[in-house]
Amino acid sequence: MSTKAIHTDFVLSTNALNEYGFKLLTDGCDLGEFKKNPVGFHNHDSTHGVLVRWENVRIEGDKVLAQPAINLSHPRGARTEEEIRNGFLNAASVGGIKLFAHELRDDVQAGEPIIVGTKWAFKECSLVDLPANREAFKVQLFDANDNAINLSDLTNQLKIDLKNKGMKKANITLSPLVIGALALSDNTTDEAVQQGIEKALQEREQLRMAQESSKAALAKLETELADVKAKGLEAEVKAIVDKAVEEKRMSLQTATQMAKAFAGNPKGLSDLVATMQPYQSVVGALNIGAGLPKELSDKTWDELHAADLLPRLKRDFPDKYQAMFNEKYRSETL
């Protein structure tokens, strides 16, 4: 037996609505059994034997893909290979579909509820001339036990089951508490119960949203209050160190360090500053320089320097000069 491999992808199945009015979900396709014997025929007709063996069978996105290897010994083999090569034959169709799980779903394209295979497999995949031609082949559906399924019967039964499920009434006795909470009467209808429950759920959701909004508002207020408190404490600390510098209880450098160390604790800083003695001039404390001439005694260090009197002060009154020197350069660090 000679074969001809054709390295062209054929789409075996997709999620789309097929011509028979049902869908097969690609992600629910089990390729295990088919890969054990991946064969197919022409238009699902097995009379003349196997026409194609599928290779590189796989799932990509919402498509089941494969590449055909043509049996040239088949009566239609050479013709099929030529038709594919020249672009006259490019369609495939799965057959012998087994539904392991399925459900009825609304479908906009179909305009009515349709069968959707959510877990399925297939036995063969044929090359077909007209995939939309129902006369060319007959779709075959089987259940998990290989029992044949009639699509129309299955669809109708699922519709009946769905309708009965929707019409089934719950046999529930409502307590007076529930009747009152839902604003119902003793002889209320199922529709009124449903509406009462929906209203209660809506009110609960509205309450939840109001609570979330209140929580967010409270958190915002707490943050703003914390900021105001922090700024107030910062202002108190600054006022204390500024006054301490003004009273010469500490230098500017010390004041900066104290402000950092006592940030948020103005009382502790105030208590500490109260223990500090104001700086007193050495000149004033010791009365150094008594008997200085007026031209020397009533001038500051800078004024003496500007008047070129510092050399005279240093020569005639060295103690006064040293005291003013110490005071000058110590005060500049305050």
pLDDT of 194 reads: 74
Q: Is the overall model pTM greater than 0.85, yes or no? A: no
Instruction: Specify whether 301 is located in the same domain as 247.
Output: no
Residues of the chain with pLDDT under 70: 1, 131-139, 159, 161-174, 184-188, 190, 279-290, 330-334
Instruction: Specify whether 289 is located in the same domain as 258.
Output: no
Instruction: Specify whether 254 is located in the same domain as 299.
Output: no
120 and 13 Cβ atoms separated by less than 8 Å: no
Instruction: Specify whether 25 is located in the same domain as 133.
Output: yes
Spatial separation of the C-alpha atoms in residues 79 and 60, rounded to whole Å:
30
Instruction: Specify whether 32 is located in the same domain as 131.
Output: yes
Domain assignment of residue 266, given as a range: 232-274
Q: Is 292 exposed, middle or buried (0-12, 13-18, 19+ CB in 10 A)?
A: middle
Instruction: Specify whether 73 is located in the same domain as 119.
Output: yes
Instruction: Specify whether 252 is located in the same domain as 306.
Output: no
Q: Is residue 92 part of a domain?
A: yes
Q: Is residue 267 part of a domain?
A: yes
Instruction: Specify whether 236 is located in the same domain as 311.
Output: no
Of 116, 141, 164, which marks where a domain is finished? 164
pLDDT of 165 reads: 58
Q: How many domains are there within the chain? A: 3
pLDDT of 161 reads: 67
Instruction: Specify whether 256 is located in the same domain as 131.
Output: no
Instruction: Specify whether 36 is located in the same domain as 152.
Output: yes
**Measured torsion, CA atoms of residues 204, 206, 207, 208, in degrees rounded to the nearest 10:** 90
Instruction: Specify whether 23 is located in the same domain as 151.
Output: yes
pLDDT of 197 reads: 81
Q: Is residue 177 part of a domain?
A: no
